[in-house]
């Protein structure tokens, strides 16, 4: 099968200076390919070169097997359409008129639309879910609606390939998802190939079939989202400091303080909101004992300065418990996240007992004071809270009074 677009040893840049060199990839029919990289990595430059707006410095771009330089611009417009980041200020054009502009490569000298043209425009607006907007003025629309209309316009060109530059930037999460959904529909149902630039790691990895990582004058790697995640390239790609991209969860966590103010006993997701909240307030956190396959682990390992872990599915061993005990001794107070107690993490309850013996203030989010989880523990000395909000409103005071 001839690829819809094929970039062969392409150097892209301006004024004979390559910004990105040796781009090499094929885009097949119905593929959704995403260029992922930080701002200024050269994603837009690549897209402009792929779309023929910029001449390649070296190498070739082929559309359906033909060198793009040899395709007449009018014919190219029937193969390929664009959605750009350029802010279009069309105050007095209706949505329909803008979508209908996509027929320009097909209409005659004066641009009269035929009955078929009208049908194509109607269908395109329907496909992107903007049919209800067609009589509205473009300038009255929200950013998300505008983007959908621009995609409809691109669709009206009836291309094999749509190239989109940052189609989701400036959009809220609802519209981000909607735009990606629309593109997925175009690729799956209509067999249109989409090449898009994104800087949103999450959307790229979860929404696209092929991801190309662009960084520092080069394509770092390319492959399926799963391969990209496995390669551990994302953190390097964005050169993030002060935060860590969690490739498993696909989320960013800010690195916490490197101190041990509060020891948190969590598990099964109960710890995550507490880590995040207290870290935001400036506390240095430690946590334990968490199993390595626990969801809390992936977040705690970034936020907390130290985390005591146990191998997956193993009951907590004594050695882990004694390591946790050392951290617990240093901390100013202990929080019981209200984790679910089961066979393998039973020993975490012992940690609470130890904390009590050490005279550490214990704050608990366990919902019932008479909870049968507390065996041999004097619940009177534990501060119980219904929510994290309640807990944080009194934590400062408890720590202060205890230190006195």
Partner 1 sequence: MNCNAYSKKRPFILFILGVLLLLIIFLLSICLGSIPISLEDMKKAFTENDKIAHSHYIIITTIRLPRVLAAFIGGASIAVSGLMIQIFFQNPIVEPYILGISSGANLFVGLVILGGFTFGMTSMSTTGMLIGSFLGAVFIMIMVIFASQKVKSITTLLIIGLMLGYVCSAATSVLTALADREKIASFTLWTMGSFSGFKWSDVKYAYMITIPFLIIAFLMSKPLNAMLLGEKYARSMGVSIKLFRFLIVIVSSILTAVITAFAGPISFIGLAVPHIVRMTFKTNNNRIMIPAVCIYGAVMTGFCDLIARTIIAPTELPLNAVTSIIGAPIVVYLLVRKKGGTL
210 pairs with which residues across the strands?
33
Tokens read off for 389? 């909000």
Residue 86 engages partner 1 in binding (rule: CB under 8 A):
yes
- Using CB atoms within 10 Å of the CB of residue 271, give its burial: 0 to 12 exposed, 13 to 18 middle, 19+ buried: buried
User: CA-CA distance, 254 to 299, in Å (whole number)?
Assistant: 9
R_g over Cα of the chain: 28
User: CA-CA distance, 297 to 123, in Å (whole number)?
Assistant: 48
Nearer to partner 1, 156 or 203 (CB): 156
User: CA-CA distance, 307 to 285, in Å (whole number)?
Assistant: 9
Q: What is each CA distance from 190 to 158, 193, 203, 347, in whole angstroms?
A: 10, 9, 21, 57
Report residue 49 CA to chain centroid gap. Answer: 26
Residue 146 engages partner 1 in binding (rule: CB under 8 A):
no
Residue 73 engages partner 1 in binding (rule: CB under 8 A):
yes
Give yes or no for a contact between 33 and 208, defined as CB atoms under 8 angstroms apart: yes
Q: What does the per-residue mask of binding to partner 1 show for 148-167, with x meaning CB under 8 A?
A: ---------x----------
User: CA-CA distance, 2 to 63, in Å (whole number)?
Assistant: 9
Nearer to partner 1, 75 or 387 (CB): 75
The CB-of-74 to partner 1 minimum distance in angstroms stands at 4
Residue 358 engages partner 1 in binding (rule: CB under 8 A):
no
Binding partner 1 by CB under 8 A: which of 7, 41, 63, 98?
98
- Using CB atoms within 10 Å of the CB of residue 404, give its burial: 0 to 12 exposed, 13 to 18 middle, 19+ buried: exposed
The CB-of-72 to partner 1 minimum distance in angstroms stands at 8
Q: What is the DSSP letter of 368?
A: -
User: CA-CA distance, 270 to 285, in Å (whole number)?
Assistant: 15
Residue 94 engages partner 1 in binding (rule: CB under 8 A):
yes
Q: What does the per-residue mask of binding to partner 1 show for 37-56, with x meaning CB under 8 A?
A: --------------x-x---
Residue 170 engages partner 1 in binding (rule: CB under 8 A):
no
Binding partner 1 by CB under 8 A: which of 8, 59, 60, 90?
90
Scanning 71-79, 247-255, 341-349, 352-360 for contacts with partner 1 by CB under 8 A, the matching segment is 71-79
Residue 142 engages partner 1 in binding (rule: CB under 8 A):
no
Residue 26 engages partner 1 in binding (rule: CB under 8 A):
no
Residue 376 engages partner 1 in binding (rule: CB under 8 A):
no
Give yes or no for a contact between 290 and 309, defined as CB atoms under 8 angstroms apart: yes
Nearer to partner 1, 15 or 239 (CB): 15
Residue 16 engages partner 1 in binding (rule: CB under 8 A):
no
Residues 100-129 that bind partner 1 (CB under 8 A): 101-102, 104-105, 107, 109-111, 115, 118
Residue 134 engages partner 1 in binding (rule: CB under 8 A):
yes
Binding partner 1 by CB under 8 A: which of 92, 248, 403, 404?
92
User: CA-CA distance, 51 to 61, in Å (whole number)?
Assistant: 9
Residue 403 engages partner 1 in binding (rule: CB under 8 A):
no
Rounded to 10 deg, the angle between the 388-403 and 272-280 helix axes is 60
Q: How many residues touch partner 1 (CB under 8 A)?
A: 39
Give yes or no for a contact between 336 and 364, defined as CB atoms under 8 angstroms apart: yes
Helix (H, G, I), strand (E, B) or coil at 388: helix
Residue 93 engages partner 1 in binding (rule: CB under 8 A):
yes
Residue 135 engages partner 1 in binding (rule: CB under 8 A):
yes
Nearer to partner 1, 139 or 394 (CB): 139
Nearer to partner 1, 157 or 260 (CB): 157
Question: Which residues of 311-398 form beta strands (DSSP E)?
Answer: 333-336, 362-364, 382-384
| Number of C-beta neighbours around residue 354 at 10 A | 17
Nearer to partner 1, 142 or 387 (CB): 142
How many residues in the chain? 404
Nearer to partner 1, 52 or 256 (CB): 52
Give residues in contact with partner 1 (CB under 8 A): 51, 53, 72-78, 80-82, 84, 86, 88-94, 96-98, 101-102, 104-105, 107, 109-111, 115, 118, 134-135, 139-140, 157
């Amino acid at each position: 099968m001839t690829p819809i677009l094929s970039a062969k040893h392409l150097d892209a840049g301006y004024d004979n200076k390559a910004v990105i060199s040796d781009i090499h990839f094929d885009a097949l029919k119905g593929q959704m390919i995403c260029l992922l990289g930080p701002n200024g990595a050269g994603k837009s430059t690549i897209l402009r070169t792929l779309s023929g707006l910029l001449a390649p410095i070296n190498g070739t771009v082929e559309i359906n097997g033909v060198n793009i330089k040899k395709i007449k611009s009018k014919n190219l417009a029937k193969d390929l359409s664009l959605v750009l980041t350029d802010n279009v200020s069309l105050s007095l054009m209706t949505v329909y008129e803008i979508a209908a502009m996509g027929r320009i490569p097909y209409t005659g000298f004066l641009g009269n639309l035929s009955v078929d043209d009208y049908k194509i425009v109607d269908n395109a607006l329907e496909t992107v879910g903007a049919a209800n907007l067609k009589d509205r003025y473009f300038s009255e629309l929200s950013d998300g609606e505008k983007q959908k209309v621009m995609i409809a316009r691109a669709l009206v060109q009836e291309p094999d390939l749509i190239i989109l530059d940052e189609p989701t930037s400036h959009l809220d999460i609802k519209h981000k998802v909607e735009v990606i959904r629309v593109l997925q529909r175009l690729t799956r149902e209509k067999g249109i190939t989409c090449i898009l630039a994104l800087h949103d790691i999450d959307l790229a990895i979860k929404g696209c079939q092929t991801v190309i990582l662009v960084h520092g004058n080069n394509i770092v790697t390319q492959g399926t989202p799963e391969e990209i995640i496995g390669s551990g390239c994302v953190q390097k790609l964005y050169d993030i400091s002060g935060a860590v991209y969690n490739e498993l969860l696909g989320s960013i966590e800010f690195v916490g303080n490197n101190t041990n103010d509060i020891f948190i006993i969590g598990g099964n997701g109960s710890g995550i909101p507490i880590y995040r909240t207290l870290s935001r307030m400036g506390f240095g956190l430690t946590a334990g004992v968490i199993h390595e396959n626990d969801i809390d682990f992936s977040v705690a390992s970034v936020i907390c300065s130290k985390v005591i872990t146990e191998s997956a599915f193993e009951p907590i061993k004594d050695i882990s418990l004694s390591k946790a005990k050392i951290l617990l001794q240093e901390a100013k107070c202990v929080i019981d996240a209200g984790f679910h107690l089961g066979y393998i993490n039973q020993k975490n309850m012992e940690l609470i007992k130890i904390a009590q013996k050490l005279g550490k203030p214990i704050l608990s989010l366990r919902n019932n004071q008479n909870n049968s989880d507390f065996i041999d523990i004097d619940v009177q000395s534990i501060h119980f809270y219904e929510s994290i909000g309640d807990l944080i409103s009194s934590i400062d005071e408890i720590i202060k009074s205890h230190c006195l």
